[in-house]
Amino acid sequence: MSNGNKSLKNFFNSNKFIGSFQSYKDIKKVNTVNDCCFVGRSNVGKSSMINAVTKTKNLAKTSKTPGRTQSINIFLINENINLVDLPGYGYAKVSKVIRDNLGILIEEYIMNQLNLIHAYVLIDAKVGVKNSDIDMFDLISEAERNFSIVFTKIDKCSQSYLSNLENSMQSLMKSYKKYFNNFFFTSTKKNEGIINIQKDIYTLSKQK
């Protein structure tokens, strides 16, 4: 393992679960470091991704029941940056009331959390972009936050499918060019692309 990768590993090994929050007012002042958040449709692979990035098995529970995580979970990485796990959105089987409440929690957090410096929007590569994802890009841009797109489960897709996806997403991102940063292509199953997200978060953690 190169020295760079070793220090990345040490960086993510030092992590601490701060708590699980159901209302935004409890989150505002958990600590003074910057936040980056992970957000995406239910079942996109968000818990698997957070576990892979932090190299822990159970930091975020992987559940087979979409829409179950109905709170915001915060993990402090290396005393430097909060990794914020937002509830999944867009799952049809969740009742409208719960769905609206989840939406409000996500919206309140993204609009008001001034120390939020980056949002990672997860998109299942095979499912592609849905209207609720576009709503998310719009919300993040309205809040004037930078974001990146993390394609998940790329092990299910062919190389040519992925390059078409990248081309069409590049066109879509022209509408968001002020806030859009990067694409990440990942598979937690094959451990692909995870290190690039870790490097990105490490770089963010240096930002004051």
Which positions touch ligand GDP (CB under 6 A)? 42-48, 62-64, 66, 88, 152-153, 155-156, 187-189
Which amino acid is residue 25, in one-letter code? K
36 contacts 181 by C-beta, under 8 angstroms = no
Residue among 64 and 208 whose Cβ is closer to ligand GDP: 64
Q: How far is the CB of 46 from ligand GDP (least distance, A)?
A: 3
Residue among 110 and 154 whose Cβ is closer to ligand GDP: 154
Three-state secondary structure call for residue 63: coil
Residue among 9 and 156 whose Cβ is closer to ligand GDP: 156
Q: How far is the CB of 125 from ligand GDP (least distance, A)?
A: 9
Q: How far is the CB of 57 from ligand GDP (least distance, A)?
A: 12
Query: What letter does residue 45 receive in the DSSP assignment?
Result: S
Residue 7 neighbours by CB distance under 10 Å = 11
Using a 10 angstrom Cβ sphere, with 0-12 exposed, 13-18 middle and 19 or more buried, the burial of residue 183 is: middle
Q: How far is the CB of 171 from ligand GDP (least distance, A)?
A: 25
Residue among 108 and 155 whose Cβ is closer to ligand GDP: 155
Residue among 159 and 171 whose Cβ is closer to ligand GDP: 159
Those residues with Cβ within 8 angstroms of residue 68's Cβ, 6 or more apart along the chain or in another chain: none
Q: What is the arrangement of strands in the sheet containing 15-21, beginning at the earlier edge strand?
A: 15-21, 72-77, 81-85, 34-40, 116-124, 147-152, 180-185
Strand extents, DSSP E, 11-131: 15-21, 34-40, 72-77, 81-85, 116-124
Q: How far is the CB of 53 from ligand GDP (least distance, A)?
A: 12
Residue among 4 and 128 whose Cβ is closer to ligand GDP: 128
Residue 156 neighbours by CB distance under 10 Å = 13
Q: Which two tokens stand for residue 208?
A: 């004051």
Q: How far is the CB of 184 from ligand GDP (least distance, A)?
A: 12
